[in-house]
Amino acid sequence: MVIAVGLDIVELDRIQGVWNRHRDRFLERHFHPDELSYCLKKHHPLPSLAVRFAAKEAFQKTWPVAHGWRDVWVVREGDKPVLRFSDEIAAEMEKNGWTAHLSMSHARTHATAVVILEQR
């Protein structure tokens, strides 16, 4: 059963602006080391960072309480993006029997993500 759906879209220009002004602080505050390891290896890391930012926002829209930026992150399992969680969120997900599904995409000017929170 679907519990919640979250959708977010991010303008890449917005992420570029933050990157230009506060790169190190932005990266440290918003991204898990696993995400940085993946994204910063790319020739153009901003689209990958922006789509992960959108995924975090989309997940927050499904979650009943606020959480930190680094409490949710995206990893790849093969070609598929998958959400990972802090111990606190993972425990709550397990306790409630919830699973989160993620789809994300980016184009030249925007990045978007959808999260579906499902009861197993």
Q: Give the chain's domain count.
A: 1
Are residues 30 and 86 in contact, defined by beta-carbon separation less than 8 angstroms?
A: no
**What mean pLDDT is predicted for residues 56-76?**
97
The pLDDT of residue 55 is: 98
Q: What CATH number should be reported for the domain holding residue 42? A: 3.90.470.20
Q: Which residues span the domain enclosing 10? A: 2-119
pLDDT for the residue 120? 87
The dihedrals phi and psi of 85, each to the nearest 5 degrees, come to: -135, 155
Mean pLDDT value across residues 12-32: 96
Q: Taking all residues of the chain, what is their mean pLDDT, rounded to a whole number? A: 97
pLDDT at 4 over 90: yes
Q: What pLDDT was estimated at residue 84?
A: 98
pTM greater than 0.85 (yes/no): yes
Residues of the chain with pLDDT > 70, as a percent, come to 100
